[in-house]
Structure 1
Amino acid sequence: MIDRRHFNLGLGGLAAVWAAGVSAQGRKVFRGANSVGIVDAQQCFITCGRHPKLRYFEQEGVELDFVNMSSANQAMVGIARGQAEFGSLAPGVYLPAIAKEPQLGIIAVYNWLPRNANVVVVKPDSPVKTIKDLAGKRIGIRNQGDGGVFALQTMYGELGVKTSDINFIAVGDSGVAGTALTQGNVDAIVTYDTAAARIEAVGMPLRYLDLPPNYARLGAGWMGIRRKDLKEDRKAVVGFFRAVAKSTLFAHTNLGEAINIHWALYPETKSKNKSDAESRQEIELILGRRKDNWIRRPDDPDQRWGASSLEEWQQIVAITARSTANPQLPQQLGDLGNVFTNELIDEVNAFDKAAVVRQAQEFRST
């Protein structure tokens, strides 16, 4: 059994030290603004790098922690206010916020979901065949601050459907959300791949609607940090995201062991109401929907971990401008160097990827 105290560094007695951003060992702590509100094995793509046989974060002189948030918007605000050092940015939330408040001081530095992980699901027997058919329908989302709101608005923008024709209804997660759909309280749910898989995991079948073609080619998640940290602690930021890249490659190569590591590090995140076999079956279904979205498409011309492209961001801005009925958004944002940067990416990728793959293939946690 792994000594969890070694990893959490005595969180109870060192809360003030962690809050100051430095661990007891002198390593900079990167607190993640966790917009889904819970730490579970979905995060194994990043947490696995903390295993003592891997030590990806420790080798870079950094540590990982999480701060639970209730929505994508709260997570972004949490980063800006210094309550977290990094977090996933939903473009539909992030871009309008930067346009309105350039002084927010956040910039996207690492594309952690280079494939589109947003999904729109309906009951298998639903008469709805396409996303266009959802105009005027009731759309389920996790909560009113959820990124699904902006995802569907963005899809509607590409399809030329009025965003005023959306009636969003908060339905929560997992079985609660699935029940809302099966009982006809909503006509569809817009969410992430993993959240839809949680509905399927409790025995509620879904049908996935095709995403609009241009939107389907876009990434779904970027990790953002404060510009201040990029300027003042660049080495630690590079090291942190290099550890993230290594961890993600490990998890994609050997998902089963990444899950084992997560549960060993965070035993309280394992279900108390299910057997180990049931828990594993559930999380493998969920992450089976997600794992390929961690890596770049084979035809992506830029295979670097975390890289973005100007063309992709230009498309995202244009679609967001249409979906938010703000044609001035590109002008308000100005130079997209204010929105994202690739300046860390070459350094982040300065590691032996083949060695990480071999390590993952040979790894045994027990």
Structure 2
Amino acid sequence: MWTRRDFGFGLGLAALLPTAFAQDVRVMRVANTAGVNDPQQCFITAGQHPKLNFYKPNGVDVEYVNMSSMTQALQSLQSGHVEFGPAVPGLLLPAMAKDPTLDLVSVYKWLPRNANVIVVKPASPIKTAADLAGKRIGVRSQGDTGIVLTKVMLAELGLKDDKCEYIAIGDGAPAGAAIDNDRVDAMVAFDTATARIELVGTKLRYVPLTPKFAQVGSGWLCVPRKLLKSERKSLVALFRGMAKSTIFANANLDAAIDLHWDVYPESKPKGRSLDEARKELAFILKDRKNSWMRRPDDPDQRMGASSLAEWTANIAMTAESSKNPKLAQELGDPNRLFSNELVDEINDFDKQAVVRMAREFKG
């Protein structure tokens, strides 16, 4: 029987494999743009553990395929090397407008709150997002979304980024050193990335996001449109398992981290205890675990649901940041960019039962 490790984690091996089935379990491959499978992904992976078993009884499982960038992820989705992957509007929408054959549809919003942040040194003169104009902006890599997000926020304020310099500073200690040594004036990244920088001892101050951008979700998962028909049952099972896993991880993060390590033992920390690593991860995910869940005032509390209003806003912000006033016209009907047709079936389970399971869970 093929196992997760038989399939490997690199795109090169995944590209050589046929569509993967094992004992009637459909393996759905995800483009992992983080480049490494670590416990911050426990909102998906905890449910793979036999003690929870949120996927396999419904005929699916998840396979991670590491990617170096969003561009590679989009190429892999288009070519069929993976079945689903992240949808970052600032990168996805211009790509779809440019290439009509890139027929992707966002079917599950995994990060309904905005988990992007702006950080600076505590004594920095930068007080608001407007102050980023003309500055040296640190990003994880030149393919990172921090570049697009900076453009989006400045465009919302009627400002240009033409004098900004985007500098790749990596993660963790290298990024912290770049900030401490004034190689950059600010960093725009996900909250988990900046939390890792704080863990290495760099002091950071968080600058508020722009008002409109702050209200937009920051993470969707998309699939090739043809899969909505050909793999509907598997997609419902996949995202229902993910919804259950997310609720579990939000309610009992420590257990979710341990379950991730059991499923992916190669991701266990080296050179320090699991207790130390668990404390670090709890700090890294202190904000993220709430961003996995809908805001209390969100009128649609369904896990994974999107709205036309937010995708219209995504188009408007991307049009400004990409300096393409014809983007909406090139994309056509915004309803084609997302679909809620799976959402009711995905949410057809007892959420409170999952919360109780998490709170009563014994490792």
TM-score (norm 2): 0.95
Residue of structure 2 in register with 1:237 after alignment: 235
Residue of structure 1 in register with 2:351 after alignment: 353
* Distance in 1 between residues matched to 2:353 and 2:114, nearest whole Å: 28
1:102 is paired with a residue of what secondary structure?
A: coil
CA contact (8 A) 1:23 1:63 kept: no
Residue of structure 2 in register with 1:168 after alignment: 166
Q: 2:4 aligns with which of 5, 8, 11?
A: 8
Residue of structure 2 in register with 1:197 after alignment: 195
Residue 262 of structure 1 aligns with an amino acid whose one-letter code is H
Q: 2:335 aligns with which of 334, 337, 349?
A: 337
Q: State the shift of 1:273 in Å.
A: 2.3
Deviations 1:128-185 (A, max 9, x none): 1111111111001111111111111111111111021321011111111111011000
**Do residues 40 (structure 1) and 38 (structure 2) align?**
yes
Deviations 1:172-203 (A, max 9, x none): 11111111011000000110010011101111
* Distance in 1 between residues matched to 2:147 and 2:70, nearest whole Å: 11
> For residues 13-162 of structure 1, what are the structure 2 equivalents within 5 Å?
19-162=17-160
Residue of structure 1 in register with 2:181 after alignment: 183
Q: State the shift of 1:75 in Å.
A: 1.4
* Distance in 2 between residues matched to 1:289 and 1:205, nearest whole Å: 17
Residue 253 of structure 2 aligns with an amino acid whose one-letter code is L
* Distance in 2 between residues matched to 1:87 and 1:97, nearest whole Å: 15
> For residues 195-234 of structure 1, what are the structure 2 equivalents within 5 Å?
195-234=193-232
2:162 is paired with a residue of what secondary structure?
A: helix
* Distance in 2 between residues matched to 1:130 and 1:229, nearest whole Å: 43
CA contact (8 A) 1:17 1:23 kept: no
CA contact (8 A) 1:120 1:189 kept: yes
Q: State the shift of 1:59 in Å.
A: 1.9
CA contact (8 A) 2:110 2:220 kept: yes
1:94 is paired with a residue of what secondary structure?
A: helix
Q: Please list every run of 5 or more consecutive structure 1 residues that lacks an aligned counterpart in the other structure.
A: none
Kindly tell me: are residues 49 and 17 of structure 1, through their superposed partners in 2, closer, same or farther at Cα, counting changes over 3 Å?
farther
1:163 is paired with a residue of what secondary structure?
A: coil
Deviations 1:40-72 (A, max 9, x none): 001101000011121111122001110000112
Residue of structure 1 in register with 2:283 after alignment: 285
Q: State the shift of 1:125 in Å.
A: 1.1
Residue 55 of structure 1 aligns with an amino acid whose one-letter code is N
2:355 is paired with a residue of what secondary structure?
A: helix
CA contact (8 A) 2:14 2:65 kept: no
Misfit runs of 4+, over 6 Å: 15-18
Residue 361 of structure 1 aligns with an amino acid whose one-letter code is R
* Distance in 2 between residues matched to 1:147 and 1:16, nearest whole Å: 25
* Distance in 2 between residues matched to 1:70 and 1:111, nearest whole Å: 22
Residue of structure 1 in register with 2:305 after alignment: 307
Q: State the shift of 1:19 in Å.
A: 2.9
Residue 81 of structure 1 aligns with an amino acid whose one-letter code is S
Deviations 1:290-320 (A, max 9, x none): 1010000000000000000101111111111
CA contact (8 A) 2:14 2:81 kept: no
* Distance in 2 between residues matched to 1:207 and 1:6, nearest whole Å: 47
1:263 is paired with a residue of what secondary structure?
A: helix
Q: State the shift of 1:272 in Å.
A: 0.7
* Distance in 2 between residues matched to 1:267 and 1:120, nearest whole Å: 33
Q: State the shift of 1:276 in Å.
A: 2.0
CA contact (8 A) 2:108 2:220 kept: yes
Q: Please list every run of 5 or more consecutive structure 2 residues that lacks an aligned counterpart in the other structure.
A: none
* Distance in 1 between residues matched to 2:272 and 2:79, nearest whole Å: 38
Kindly tell me: are residues 200 and 327 of structure 1, through their superposed partners in 2, closer, same or farther at Cα, counting changes over 3 Å?
same
Residue of structure 2 in register with 1:271 after alignment: 269
CA contact (8 A) 1:254 1:361 kept: yes
Q: State the shift of 1:278 in Å.
A: 2.1
Deviations 1:91-124 (A, max 9, x none): 1001111111121121111000000011111011
CA contact (8 A) 1:61 1:239 kept: yes
* Percent sequence identity over aligned pairs: 52
Kindly tell me: are residues 58 and 202 of structure 1, through their superposed partners in 2, closer, same or farther at Cα, counting changes over 3 Å?
same
Segment of structure 1 superposing worse, 233-242 or 157-166: 157-166
Residue 191 of structure 1 aligns with an amino acid whose one-letter code is A
CA contact (8 A) 1:7 1:265 kept: no
CA contact (8 A) 2:15 2:81 kept: no
RMSD of equivalent CA atoms: 1.7
Residue 352 of structure 2 aligns with an amino acid whose one-letter code is A
Kindly tell me: are residues 18 and 238 of structure 1, through their superposed partners in 2, closer, same or farther at Cα, counting changes over 3 Å?
farther
